[in-house]
């Protein structure tokens, strides 16, 4: 593509889904090397996305509600104004399907040539509209979507664009383990019991491995109820990390243990050994972290996945 052509990529999140789109981001830039490529994403991902070498600009989508007509019209006009040649909708949600239909309406009313669209919407230029797509893992689904749009291949997600460091961030000393005890606030059923995480921390401490707790600013409001010895040995980084810090932590950690949540995907992509914990609330075949050293433990109920059983797998990783 020439430098006069423009591409729009839509990917809002959540975090795990977003980082699993890094392979497609790479493929899109490789396919359209000289084009102006703009990413439309969620506010919390803007800074991280701006660090990537795949985009010339990053736009924020506040995702106005359906009744916020003025905001929706402004967003649609913003998308229409650059006269994009192609739109890659990697979010493939009800919202982005609505955006496609609104764009058709706007072009019908205002004239002009509408961009080619790669999406899940029947009738778009490159429609990945098969009913089987909902049964596919995110990485496989995105790859098939781009193959339908003429791509020959899509690489795996990677963080090659984030510089390596010789020492871990936050002055951490090895060995250390990353613990991710929380998940999405609206999905508490995905969370392994805190009591079991505390039991795992004791086992790490006994083995001489420092537990490092990872979480968001909101997660800080949840008490870990650590014992006195845990308070002395555990490092709590909740609310202290940027997304790029998670990559560096994953590169240096000895293992990461946690729920089905975004940071676990980042650690897996960063080649950290990962032990991911799943219950009935999510299906690993659709959304599990993928990487060279990933162990998935799933029970219908976390009551059947005690810390002692998790530790058997963690210890195998640490000793390997």
For the segment 134-160, the average pLDDT, to the nearest whole number, is 97
| Predicted confidence (pLDDT) per residue in 197-216, tens digit | 999 999 999 999 999 999 99
d(Cα 178, Cα 210) in Å, to the nearest integer? 9
Stretch among 66-80, 110-124, 131-145, 295-309 having the lowest mean pLDDT: 66-80
- Whether pLDDT at 220 is above 90: no
- Whether pLDDT at 50 is above 50: yes
What token pair was written down for 222?
Answer: 């949840």
| Predicted confidence (pLDDT) per residue in 54-85, tens digit | 999 999 999 998 788 899 999 998 998 888 99
pLDDT of residue 1: 47
Nearest CA to 117 out of 138, 144, 148, 140 is that of: 148
Adjacent-strand bridge partners of 211: 177
- Backbone phi, psi, residue 203, to 5°: -70, -40
Give the contacts of 176 (CB within 8 A, at least 6 positions apart): 168, 209, 210, 211, 212, 235, 252, 253, 254
- Whether pLDDT at 90 is above 80: yes
- Whether pLDDT at 218 is above 70: yes
Q: Find the helix packing angle between 307-319 and 194-206, rounded to 10°.
A: 40
pLDDT of residue 3: 61
Q: Find the helix packing angle between 243-252 and 262-269, rounded to 10°.
A: 50
For the chain, how many residues are written? Answer: 320
- Whether pLDDT at 167 is above 80: yes
Domains of the chain: 6-148 (3.40.50.2000), 169-319 (3.40.50.2000)
pLDDT of residue 25: 98
């Amino acid at each position: 593509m020439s430098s006069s052509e423009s591409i729009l990529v839509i990917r809002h999140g959540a975090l795990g889904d977003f980082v699993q789109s890094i392979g497609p981001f790479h493929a899109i830039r490789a396919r359209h090397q000289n084009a102006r490529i703009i990413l439309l994403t969620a506010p919390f991902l803007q800074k991280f996305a701006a660090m990537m070498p795949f985009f010339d600009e990053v736009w924020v989508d506040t995702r106005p509600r359906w009744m916020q007509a003025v905001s929706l019209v402004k967003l649609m006009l913003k998308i229409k104004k650059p006269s994009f040649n192609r739109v890659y909708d990697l979010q493939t949600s009800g919202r982005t399907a609505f955006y496609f239909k609104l764009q058709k309406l706007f072009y019908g009313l205002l004239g002009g040539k509408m961009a080619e669209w790669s999406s899940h919407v029947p009738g778009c230029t490159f429609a990945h509209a098969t009913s089987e797509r909902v049964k596919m893992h995110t990485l496989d689904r995105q790859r098939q979507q781009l193959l339908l749009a003429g791509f020959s291949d899509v690489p795996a997600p990677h963080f090659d664009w984030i510089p390596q460091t010789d020492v871990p961030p936050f002055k951490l000393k090895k060995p250390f383990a990353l613990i991710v005890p929380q998940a999405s606030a609206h999905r508490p059923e995905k969370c392994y019991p805190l009591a079991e995480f505390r039991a795992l921390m004791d086992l790490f401490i006994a083995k001489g491995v420092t537990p490092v707790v990872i979480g968001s600013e909101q997660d800080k409001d949840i008490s870990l109820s650590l014992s006195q010895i845990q308070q002395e040995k555990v490092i709590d980084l909740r609310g202290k990390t940027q997304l790029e810090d998670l990559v560096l932590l994953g590169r240096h950690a000895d293992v990461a243990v946690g729920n089905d949540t975004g940071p676990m995907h980042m650690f897996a992509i960063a080649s950290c050994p990962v032990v991911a914990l799943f219950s009935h609330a999510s299906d690993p075949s659709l959304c599990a972290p993928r990487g060279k050293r990933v162990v998935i433990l799933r029970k219908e109920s976390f009551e059947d996945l005690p810390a002692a059983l998790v530790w058997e797998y963690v210890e195998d990783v640490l000793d390997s």
